[in-house]
Amino acid sequence: MAAPVRAAIPAGLFVEQSEDCCDPLRLELTAGGEAYLARGRDPVTGTVVEEKEGALRLNFPAVPDAAVRTLTGGPAEWRDQAGRSWRRVAPGEGAEGWTPFAITVTDQDGKLFEGLAFDYEITSREGRWQPPDVRHLAASGGVCAVTAPADCLITIMPAHPDLNRGFGNAVEVRRKGGEAATSLQLTRGLTVSGRVVDAATGRPVVGAVLKPLDFTSPGWTPDDGHQIASAEDGSFVLRGLSVLGFQVEHPDFVLSPMTCVDESKDTIDIVVPMEHGRTAMGRVADAAGKPLAGVEVSSGGMSMLTDGDGSFLARSGFGAGEGWDLKLDKPGYAELNFKGRDFPVGGFILAPLPELRGRVTGPDGAPVGEYRIVGEPEKDPRSWESGEAEVRDAGGRFTVQPRDASRDGWYWIGVQAAGFAPWQGTVEAAALLSGELRIVLQPGHTVRADLVRPAAATGDLTVELRREVAAGLSERLDVHRLVLPPGEQLEIPQVAEGYYLLSIRGTGISPTVKRVSLADGSDRDLGEIRLAGTGSISGRAAPGQGKDDPSGAGDWVFAKGALHPADYERVWGERRRDTREFHTDGEGRFHLDGVPLGRSWIEFTLHRGCFVERKIGVVDVEEGRDAEVKFGEPVANSSQLRSSAAGDGSPSLLPPPPLPDGQ
């Protein structure tokens, strides 16, 4: 079936718009009515079942409750049933000078790969760009057709049954001077055929799953994308193998260990015997002995649900080696992990998650009727176990259920409400379980400052006031963020007592970080804060490297670099966000504007198989000036890592100065 042409609306690629999503969902719609929904490279396939002007209805049979089921709006932006925005994007959007480029792919004998598909990435001086398609692209006639800049690196990730997908699968192709075409040779993997049999009886094993093993340093990984199942007579033909071979799985048998193959030729008529293992019947109930249906029992990537009477059958392919290693999970109950040879005589007992109760008032005793509350087991909060609730109750009462029960008898509680400072603290379990807890919110304090900007800083400033605590839930509650347009001064209300870091960032200024103390329980006026401007840097990553490259740039062509502030390693969680990534050009050169003043260091890291080579340069930047970055000669400091000395001869970076206090 020919791929439909993606041309008219609603065809196109739409990306979920979310500030909190570092890996957004992507939805591709074709003119033929196909729909592909993916986060990453494993799409769920569906169809557009109803289409009318300004509205679409989608159906994904494998995922009835898919993240997107209806879309309204269009053509450039849509909203789904949950109100999320989806914006249309296009390959090469906004990039001038991108032209067609054809890469013909053949095997070691010069033959084309029939049915070849591929993914790809482009790296140029502008950075790394991945096409928005959520599925493999077809290489018609063995040609990978892309649109790319005139000078760039194109990383091809081919997909074909005859190609192993492990380490080394991605191949780099260099495009120079806008050339129209090039060729690429790939090696077909090995083919193994044979039968899977029961080791005890010699009878064929039907439905055994065979997966090629891919080398993923430092070990190997089964390739789920190329798996096949044995036929009625136990036979199979598995293609695209490396010398690592394959593994065989079946729920009634013990997992077959890695089977190696002859690297010089295909293997035929191989017999793979599988050993029977143990089986065990288990039952799951609540504390009162009532059977629990729908409990997910999982192990080793496999899972099942308990029946209506709470029973399940565990088989040796389901995690039994020297013993069982199971996880039992059901919403509303604490997760249970079991390791051992024999199941408990009385079955597995799941404890219900506790309901934490209490009420929230103001300092005058009046109930706070609307607020957000977070509950977390233990004194040290971790966001993945938290329970949250948006409370609207005239009496100020709350009920919140965390995802696990406390093991030390304490819970961490945090509350946010308009007109009050955030509240957080640890509370004994007894007070929360009885519902007698009363949380009293207090009005917060105000932090002010007069910001003096450099002339070049004409845009908005991003300001953040964050409590000085370890990363976790408390950090999420005690952080104040705002955007200041030009001419607007700093004022942050409703700040709780404590110690904070104030950070100010924006285009045309050097990031400013100050400590602010509100320990005395009063408002804080920081007075005048003069924001510093920026400079620029230029340089070349490891000039003179590469024997076959006349430019002398070698492997550092379009290399990814990072600009770090001098105190990058010392102020965790604050200055690390000031790291700036960039790429060199086709000769290994780079230039960056808007670099913060003072000492910074530039790092390039190159991975050569299991080895890493790193280049480091140190530079001092002055306002309005361009500074040249120089790199030292490589020095080996271990068998696995080669680093260069600092470019200015410094044996190490200077220790950072202490952060200035707001006073």
Mean pLDDT by 10 residues, the chain (663 residues): 36 65 70 74 76 79 76 78 75 63 93 89 82 71 88 90 75 91 91 92 94 78 84 93 87 77 79 84 93 88 85 68 81 88 90 92 96 83 71 95 83 92 90 92 95 91 83 62 91 92 92 89 92 93 50 69 71 58 89 91 76 80 91 50 42 41 48
Could you tell me if 4 and 47 are in contact, meaning their C-beta atoms sit under 8 angstroms apart?
no
Residue 601 burial (C-beta neighbours within 10 Å; 0-12, 13-18, 19+):
buried
Q: pLDDT value at position 546?
A: 39
Q: pLDDT value at position 173?
A: 92
Could you tell me if 493 and 446 are in contact, meaning their C-beta atoms sit under 8 angstroms apart?
yes
| Cα–Cα distance for residue pair 412/428, rounded to 1 Å | 9
- Sequence-ordered alpha helix ranges (H) in 537-646: none
Q: Are strands 598-608 and 560-565 parallel, antiparallel or unpaired?
A: antiparallel
For the record, the structure tokens of 134 come out as: 């959520």
Q: pLDDT value at position 166?
A: 63
Q: Which of 327, 326, 335, 435 is nearest to 385 (CA)?
A: 335
For the record, the structure tokens of 49 come out as: 């079942």
Q: pLDDT value at position 513?
A: 87
Q: Which of 97, 184, 83 is nearest to 148 (CA)?
A: 97
| Cα–Cα distance for residue pair 296/302, rounded to 1 Å | 10
User: How large is the C-alpha radius of gyration of the chain?
Assistant: 30
For the record, the structure tokens of 534 come out as: 């920026």
Q: pLDDT value at position 267?
A: 78
Task: With H, G, I as helix, E, B as strand and everything else as coil, classify residue 19.
Answer: coil
The pTM is what? 0.67
For 114, phi then psi, to 5°, come to -70, 130
Could you tell me if 36 and 11 are in contact, meaning their C-beta atoms sit under 8 angstroms apart?
no
For the record, the structure tokens of 240 come out as: 């695209």
How many Cβ atoms from other residues are within 10 Å of residue 67's Cβ?
A: 16
Beta strands in 90-136 (DSSP E): 99-106, 117-124, 127-129
Q: pLDDT value at position 408?
A: 79
For the record, the structure tokens of 27 come out as: 């939805």
Residue 474 burial (C-beta neighbours within 10 Å; 0-12, 13-18, 19+):
buried
Q: pLDDT value at position 625?
A: 93
Q: pLDDT value at position 477?
A: 74
For the record, the structure tokens of 641 come out as: 């890592």
Q: pLDDT value at position 319?
A: 45
| Cα–Cα distance for residue pair 532/513, rounded to 1 Å | 12
| Cis amide prior to 75 (ω within 30 degrees) | yes
Residue 226 burial (C-beta neighbours within 10 Å; 0-12, 13-18, 19+):
buried
For the record, the structure tokens of 334 come out as: 């604490």
| Cα–Cα distance for residue pair 64/62, rounded to 1 Å | 6
